[in-house]
Structure 1
Amino acid sequence: MATTTTAPRRHQLGGQLSAPLRRFLATESGGAVLLVVATLVALGWANSTWSETYSRIWSTELAVEVADWALRMDLHHWINDGLMAVFFLVIGLEVRRDLSVGELTDRRKLRLPLLAGLGGMVVPAVLYLLVNSSGEAANGWGVVIGTDTAFLLGTLALVGPATSTQLRVFLLTLTVVDDIVAVSVIGLVYSDDLDAVALAVALAAVAVLVALGRSRVWRTWPYALTILALWLATVASGLHASVAGMVAGLLVPSFAPRRQAVEQAARRFHAFRQSPLADVGRSAQDALVRAVPVNERMQLVLHPWTSYFIVPVFALANAGVDLRGGVLGEALRSPVTWGIVLGLVLGKFVGIGGVALLGSRLGVGRLPQGVGPGQILGGGALSGIGFTVSLLIVGLAFGPELQDEATVGVLLALVLATLLGWLVFTLAAVLHGETTAGLPTVLDRPVDPERDHVRGSVTAPLTLVEYADFECPFCGRATGVVAEVRAHFGADLRYVMRHLPLPDVHPHAELAALAVESAGAQGRFWEMHDLLFEHQGQLETEDLAGYASELGLDVERFLRDLDDEVHSDRIREDVRSAEASGARGTPTFFVGDQRHVGPYDAQTLIAELEASRRDPAREERPRAGHA
């Protein structure tokens, strides 16, 4: 079974990390290692006896010709204008996914990161201009507004808290703002004179992407061809190609898995299993592709390429500064170098960390659960690693005379921002005990058979707790998983169900929770529980009354309890315990008192429960009592 959960949109139940986001974070962190290696190779190469080959190889001209049409650029521009467009495409895809179905669906969660992101651009730019207020040097203010997500997350894994999930999500959210503004600045400030005809073609390609999304076109190739046309037109128009990548990514649609499409794919694959014929297999493949949005399919293919190839190659082509012949000395005396260092290191630290803390104090938003003020400051410090976007803008903002000095500033800021981040995180841990920055993993309220609904022996040695929503399709599917797990362990397992209704995505969830509690008041909790999951599409009041009659309940009392919301306090208690336990979506399982992360298929849960049997310290011991 997939690790899919239903995530709410409201602030206090903001959603557990989705599988795509976990993949994104893991890929960025891993790619940071290659980025460091590529940077060191570039510096070593540019300062070696083979330095001339370093300059010569990037100036090699490459051309694509079709009949009388030709696109010619040197290798350096193919990387910066071509490969980096793919990099920004992936960023745009991730932003669109998060805005549509991911961590940013609750717009209230955007307030504080948005404010911090803006502070992390304005403050660095102001500091840079205080040092470089006129002449060509003043053009470099854009160098200090960007943050390198790959380097940031990779460095956070090295010098940050042992568990940094929540902090990483916060930083990733504000880099969304950072990236959009940075690309806008590149397009508006650092692009060449515009070609009106090519710009019109680019706008037409944008319109086609919009039409494809609204028409729910599910195949990838129409989007890919249109994005290629958009890139070609953007390059010809004089706009920087990064604009095409970001805009295209934002326009490729993303959506939550639709239950009907998922079930259709499952039926087609079942049919293929019974009749393994080519046409049946093709039908099953098409059904599976339809169930997964184009956005995520493109990310799955492109993201590893950007992290493990494109960005390291960009670093190799742009970080090689020949520091011999007094270049390093000149750079260390240059106001451009120190303006960049001041903007990135101090500007990001104050602009992101300081503004975020000020905003939380003023009530603009709340710091992420589990993240302390010192960790926010540490994240702000690491955001001073501008690298990728900074080096890209260095090549656009300056002539050859200042590019080396600016590049030295970006590299120096990388080192100093890392050291400052390490120092802040260390002080936060030592002085304030801020050693982790993740969601809670321990069940907040221990299982109490006198209060909780328990299926199985209340004195069973193993415990499985589920936070569920009766309208959540993934919870409905999980009931079969739980039945299989219970059958495996028999009397050795007690299963506990707690409420986590998500009314912002499931309008009948709270009413269904009240219904099962009202049935429980008449001794028929589990019977109503099973009926509600069997009829997830019929949860109106009249449907619930029918189920109550079917179970032989006092229907008048049942409906009165529903109308008066007699059991609402109990449901709110479960929701509060879910929040305190780190449960952000449904279904969320706890093995004993430890939150389960990852797939929740029967075999995985059985393995976790067996592990807890072997290690009693992992299993909450049951209390005596009655069901």
Structure 2
Amino acid sequence: MSKIIDTAHVFFFVVGLEVRQEFAHGALRDTSRARLAVIAGVASVALPALVYVLVVGAAGAEGIEGWGAVVGTDTAFMLGALAIVGPRLSGQLRVFLLTLTVVDDFLAVSIIGIFYSEEIRIVPLLVALACLLALWLLGRSRQWSAAPYVLIVLGLWLATLSSGVHASLAGMIAGLLIPAYPTRRHKVVAARQLFRDFWQSPSASSARAVGRGLSRGVSVNERLHEYLRLPTALLAVPIFALANAGVDLRGGLLVDSLGSPVTWGVVAGLVLGKLLGIGLATLLAVRLGAGRLPEGVGMGSVFGGAALSGIGFTVSLLIIGLAFGTTSDLGRQATLGVFVAMVLACVLGWAIFKVAARRWGEETADLPMTLEPPVDPEVDHIRGPEDAQLTLVEFVDFECPFCAHATGSWEDLHERFGDDLRYVVRHLPHHPHGPIAARAAEAAANQGMFWPWLDFVFTRQHALERDNLVDYAVELGLDVETFTEDLDSAEVAKRVERDAASAADSGAHATPTFFVEGCRLLGSYDARTLTAMLESSRRGTRTQEIPA
């Protein structure tokens, strides 16, 4: 059992890191979506426990104390099952399920501590709480180095193991306390200068300075997540499986279990309780306006994910061991119920996903991947031949520090592909000065000056107030009176809104977002990556990275 706890600490730490990123600069910045996941998470604990109590209690059988076995979801196995039986693209559904399972597992671990822990050691528990406080203070101090966080997390792990509290609880909270934030442009610029120093005078000290500068540019959360993500995925699930590989069915246990209210209480609680708890709570919350589903996720996909949440496995087996003991008859009957529920949950989830795809068109549960509408030379701003072999579309915000004209990627691409590439820009204003800057670009476009304006203003991102934009119009020789009229016109505003609607329909929610030959690019968008994608498109061998 200790192997389960040790591995659970690491796995749930990684889960906590990922959820913190989503809250900081991902889908869960929207409080209504985060609130929906919390509502579903609470329901996914309450209804399964109620179902178990009703099934076992109605039979008047012993074993009612095992109700905690059905409250938790095994996140590792649930996500693995989602990757196998879920939609081809399920990134947004995955984030939703991750968030509600954090709530689910937090409550489950709290239940273990309150109802199933025989001995809580106060001193190690206080040490663990002190470690959590230290993590919070470290994050507040904007400490960029990962080493202090790692040391405190190791201390937290040891203290939690000694305290008698389930290690996954501490792991999740620790991950949520590691700070995450979007990469800041000035940190990237500083790292570039350090690399230039190393280029001009290579030495151990300048190399160390480059490493430190690069680390400062990316949040501790993302760096730790990158280091731990793959090892955790490769090791956590196998260790979970090996630690719980078998259940002894000798001595007529199988026949006894099939007639045991405890077995069927576990099956009903995990399979029906999770399905109805998450599914109905989400549906009701959405209908009442208490929360919003993630973009690209339909209710059919939610019910499919709810069914997969019936995979209790690790947490369920842990509580069964605490409630009954793993070698008792009740313990073995409940354990068999967990395995039966695991199989049924996967089959039920697969069936629901298939029905959702066929009847409601929910073939994906993620943001769209295809550019909508396609490039139209009559409407879009195109640099390069209109009939060029390759098309690169970028959604930009004039205040975005990472868009291609700000970073120089476009210059590299144009040098490489020349007239074989047409470059299209669409607006996605989401920074404070983005809307007025986008309208100003369209006002300049009305005078045939979109591209000169783009090149000029991207070098002046620090000054995008209205007066600044009018001054730029003067410097570029535009008709200022016409420019200011167009800047406030409904026609120009509608043109920018068209691009913003295109971004939403195409799955672009931040800048820069690139589309290579009409397919949204995931991951890195540096000039080397864009060049490789365009080259593979030209050869007809382009592949698109699909997130797990």
TM-score normalised by the chain length of structure 2: 0.91
Match of 1:112 in 2: 36
* Greater shift in the superposed pair: 485-494 or 287-296: 485-494
Change (3 A) 1:616 1:317: closer
Match of 1:337 in 2: 263
Specify the SS of the correspondent of 1:129: helix
* TM-fit CA distance, 1:524: 1.7
Match of 1:284 in 2: 210
Letter in 2 for 1:276: P
Post-superposition CA distance 1:517-576 (Å, at most 9, x none) = 122222221121112211112212222222112112233443344355652111111111
Match of 2:362 in 1: 434
Answering whether residue 272 of structure 2 is matched by residue 346 of structure 1, we say yes
Letter in 1 for 2:40: A
Match of 1:199 in 2: 125
Unaligned runs of 5+ in 1: 1-75, 619-627
* TM-fit CA distance, 1:112: 2.9
Q: Is the 8 A contact 1:460 1:492 kept in 2?
A: yes
Which of 121, 144, 148 is residue 74 of structure 2 equivalent to?
148
In structure 2, C-alpha distance between the alignment counterparts of 1:299 and 1:611, rounded to whole Å: 30
Match of 1:4 in 2: none
Q: Is the 8 A contact 2:406 2:458 kept in 1?
A: no
Letter in 2 for 1:97: Q
In structure 2, C-alpha distance between the alignment counterparts of 1:301 and 1:513, rounded to whole Å: 39
Specify the SS of the correspondent of 1:589: strand
Match of 2:457 in 1: 532
Match of 2:474 in 1: 549
Specify the SS of the correspondent of 1:132: helix
Q: Is the 8 A contact 1:127 1:339 kept in 2?
A: yes
In structure 1, C-alpha distance between the alignment counterparts of 2:395 and 2:321, rounded to whole Å: 52
In structure 1, C-alpha distance between the alignment counterparts of 2:32 and 2:130, rounded to whole Å: 33
Unaligned runs of 5+ in 2: 544-548
Aligned pairs for 1:502-541 (under 5 A) are 502=430, 506-541=431-466
Q: What is the number of residues matched between the two proteins?
A: 539
Specify the SS of the correspondent of 1:473: coil
Letter in 2 for 1:157: A
Match of 1:177 in 2: 103
* TM-fit CA distance, 1:346: 0.9
Match of 1:493 in 2: 421
Match of 1:469 in 2: 397
Which of 347, 351, 356 is residue 282 of structure 2 equivalent to?
356
Post-superposition CA distance 1:471-516 (Å, at most 9, x none) = 11111556622222223332333221110111xxx21111111111
* TM-fit CA distance, 1:255: 1.6
* TM-fit CA distance, 1:135: 8.5
Match of 1:448 in 2: 376
Q: Is the 8 A contact 1:561 1:567 kept in 2?
A: yes
Match of 1:210 in 2: 136
Which of 496, 499, 503 is residue 578 of structure 1 equivalent to?
503
Which of 85, 94, 117 is residue 9 of structure 2 equivalent to?
85
Which of 512, 517, 520 is residue 595 of structure 1 equivalent to?
520
In structure 2, C-alpha distance between the alignment counterparts of 1:479 and 1:454, rounded to whole Å: 19
Letter in 1 for 2:146: T
Specify the SS of the correspondent of 1:392: helix
Post-superposition CA distance 1:342-379 (Å, at most 9, x none) = 01111111112233233333333444444443332222
Q: Structure 1 vs Structure 2: percent identity of aligned residues?
A: 55
Change (3 A) 1:377 1:126: same
In structure 2, C-alpha distance between the alignment counterparts of 1:118 and 1:433, rounded to whole Å: 29
Match of 1:124 in 2: 48
Specify the SS of the correspondent of 2:262: helix
Post-superposition CA distance 1:170-220 (Å, at most 9, x none) = 323322322332233233333334444433333322222222111122222
* TM-fit CA distance, 1:615: 4.8
Answering whether residue 345 of structure 2 is matched by residue 417 of structure 1, we say yes
Specify the SS of the correspondent of 1:471: coil
Change (3 A) 1:178 1:446: same
In structure 1, C-alpha distance between the alignment counterparts of 2:238 and 2:103, rounded to whole Å: 23
In structure 2, C-alpha distance between the alignment counterparts of 1:344 and 1:262, rounded to whole Å: 48
Match of 1:481 in 2: 409
Match of 1:268 in 2: 194
* Greater shift in the superposed pair: 414-423 or 296-305: 296-305
Q: Is the 8 A contact 1:87 1:311 kept in 2?
A: no
Letter in 2 for 1:562: L
Change (3 A) 1:286 1:546: same
Answering whether residue 182 of structure 2 is matched by residue 251 of structure 1, we say no
Specify the SS of the correspondent of 1:307: helix
Q: Is the 8 A contact 1:319 1:407 kept in 2?
A: no
Match of 2:388 in 1: 460
Q: Is the 8 A contact 1:514 1:565 kept in 2?
A: no
Specify the SS of the correspondent of 1:474: coil
In structure 2, C-alpha distance between the alignment counterparts of 1:507 and 1:459, rounded to whole Å: 36
Letter in 2 for 1:386: G
* TM-fit CA distance, 1:433: 4.1
Q: Is the 8 A contact 1:192 1:239 kept in 2?
A: no
Q: Is the 8 A contact 1:478 1:587 kept in 2?
A: no
In structure 2, C-alpha distance between the alignment counterparts of 1:454 and 1:441, rounded to whole Å: 21
Which of 325, 347, 370 is residue 251 of structure 2 equivalent to?
325
Match of 1:47 in 2: none
Change (3 A) 1:415 1:184: same
* Greater shift in the superposed pair: 217-226 or 358-367: 358-367
Letter in 2 for 1:155: A
* TM-fit CA distance, 1:610: 4.1
In structure 1, C-alpha distance between the alignment counterparts of 2:527 and 2:542, rounded to whole Å: 22
Specify the SS of the correspondent of 2:144: coil
In structure 1, C-alpha distance between the alignment counterparts of 2:428 and 2:318, rounded to whole Å: 46
Specify the SS of the correspondent of 2:382: strand
Q: Is the 8 A contact 1:100 1:254 kept in 2?
A: yes
Specify the SS of the correspondent of 1:534: coil
* TM-fit CA distance, 1:414: 0.5
Post-superposition CA distance 1:412-433 (Å, at most 9, x none) = 1001111112222233334444
Match of 2:531 in 1: 606
Q: Is the 8 A contact 2:81 2:308 kept in 1?
A: yes
RMSD: 2.6
Match of 2:546 in 1: none
Specify the SS of the correspondent of 1:553: coil
